[in-house]
Structure 1
């Protein structure tokens, strides 16, 4: 992986906990914010970043309790809480407009950010983000025993087998190490956090009223969310849905080239000029 010559990693002090932020690419280019999913961190986007930085200021955050970011002082992991913190981080960075992409549950944070800050978000891209709980495929990985946390490598691979990738895909060791470095409290809380948000209102219903251009990318072989549910997003005006055959829940790792190509075509139409 080739790093951008304009790579910067910093920790921003927010009122309810420090937030770690990565920036790559020209600072005067249009901003593209990438938000990771549950039990992940900004590094999950590493394979995409070099493909995006020629034309974008790529910003990634470690959500609270993930990566190098502190757990939130108020214990709030709900998408609206996370969206507020991410918006504050962008304000600190001087970003006035951004296309926002979220992977998996990161799509809920992206949507919550757009609901709270429609002035900031110019367009949204969701990567394997389930539209509602009716699309969820029940898992058989079993419960996690907090008394035996952190789990072993084998347990982590079992836990993430369906939630992370297609069958037979080998989970990179750095993803295993990241999960092991999380506290059980953060792991459990972030797994539960999207449920009330989705039960209150489905994502397509939320996005319909926002009036933002929408790109939905879905691995056709996702074993966590029914890939056919991606069509639910077509009720959103100006929505485009792209299915990637042979790809599972995490296209950003399983096929970064195809994912980046779709993102670049979308942002070429909808990115605001650099701030």
Structure 2
């Protein structure tokens, strides 16, 4: 027993020392905002007091395209597409609550419905009645949920390595078990944040190395992953208030969702996927394509979870062709 007690004390001492050296405090909001606010950045306050960061860019006379980022990302992920597509289209991007320069919100609500309310508040703020809605990863989930909730507003969907429909999970699990598929190396952040013990200490750990591994894995170790890109994720995560908001978001119990009747989607959809996606299997792309009546599927070899940054020219070209089929040449 004495040896066990000594061992426990030593382990606690090691953890305490590690905590001192690994601890990373928050970065002042003003400092982070000054670095990541662009010339076209705007802010407005929702009725619940949330201060939302958004950008309204491109051709103000062109068809509107609203784009929603993924989990732990920000509106900056869309900058390559804005540059390429902006001559023809009006492009609205935003930082969802707990993300980017929006960060923590007063009501501490970071659930799916809060995300839909944020998107709706932004489009109403900029005066849009109809638009194409697109999203990456979690933002893809926001896209199809918003389309179901507001079918009168959405003219088309862009689903880029998107969260799947609720019924997809069971289908994928059955297929993986049948084929004995091995999972690709995924960002450790998401698996760790699912564990209560890690969330209890996450606020006190320097997330740099976890951020670096996560970005490299998500981007399939693409050459576009530079230290500047890693710092963007790292510094936005450390913006004062954002770490608590992220922990709150991952601590909220996930509600089981009923299967979605895919026949309710009555708009064209472009389903875009990186074949080497380590976060959301390319099999989900196939399920979307089979479920949606008006879908166009594009799969990119040797690309990961973020095609709009990994292969901006090629992915934007596919978006342009899709939008031209809907709106005509601009």
Q: Distance in 2 between matches of 1:177 and 1:109?
A: 24
When the two structures are superposed, what TM-score results if normalisation uses the length of structure 1? 0.85
Structure 2: 5+ residue stretches without partners: 1-38, 174-182, 193-197
What are the Cα deviations for residues 108-141 of structure 1, in whole angstroms up to 9, with x where unaligned? 1112221222121111011001324354858572
Shift of 1:248: 0.5
Residue 285 of structure 2: aligned partner: 230
Q: Distance in 2 between matches of 1:221 and 1:32?
A: 27
Task: Identify the range of structure 1 (211-220 vs 265-274) with the bigger mean alpha-carbon deviation.
Answer: 265-274
Task: Identify the range of structure 1 (187-196 vs 209-218) with the bigger mean alpha-carbon deviation.
Answer: 187-196
Q: Distance in 2 between matches of 1:30 and 1:79?
A: 27
Matches within 5 A, 1:240-255: 240-255=296-311
Matches within 5 A, 1:68-87: 68-87=101-120
Task: Identify the range of structure 1 (127-136 vs 63-72) with the bigger mean alpha-carbon deviation.
Answer: 127-136
- Any idea what SS the aligned residue of 2:147 has? helix
Q: Among 180, 189, 192, which residue is 2:238 paired with?
A: 180
RMSD of aligned C-alpha atoms? 2.7
When the two structures are superposed, what TM-score results if normalisation uses the length of structure 2? 0.72
Residue 220 of structure 2: aligned partner: 166
Residue 265 of structure 2: aligned partner: 210
Matches within 5 A, 1:32-71: 32-71=65-104
Shift of 1:160: 4.0
Matches within 5 A, 1:252-263: 252-263=308-319
How many residue pairs get aligned? The number is 263
Contact 1:128/1:250 (<8 A) preserved: yes
Shift of 1:40: 0.8
Contact 1:26/1:56 (<8 A) preserved: yes
**Greater length-normalized contact order (CA 8 Å, ≥ 6 residues apart):** 1
Q: Distance in 1 between matches of 2:139 and 2:117?
A: 13
Q: Where is the helix percentage greater, Structure 1 or Structure 2? A: 2
Shift of 1:271: 4.3
Q: Distance in 2 between matches of 1:69 and 1:206?
A: 33
Contact 1:105/1:194 (<8 A) preserved: no
Contact 2:263/2:292 (<8 A) preserved: yes
Contact 1:146/1:184 (<8 A) preserved: no
- Any idea what SS the aligned residue of 1:184 has? helix
Q: Distance in 1 between matches of 2:248 and 2:261?
A: 23
Task: Identify the range of structure 1 (230-239 vs 169-178) with the bigger mean alpha-carbon deviation.
Answer: 169-178
Distance 1:120 1:243, change over 3 A: same
Q: Distance in 2 between matches of 1:34 and 1:63?
A: 11
Q: Distance in 2 between matches of 1:176 and 1:251?
A: 20
Residue 4 of structure 1: aligned partner: none
Contact 1:151/1:180 (<8 A) preserved: no
Q: Which has the greater radius of gyration?
A: 2
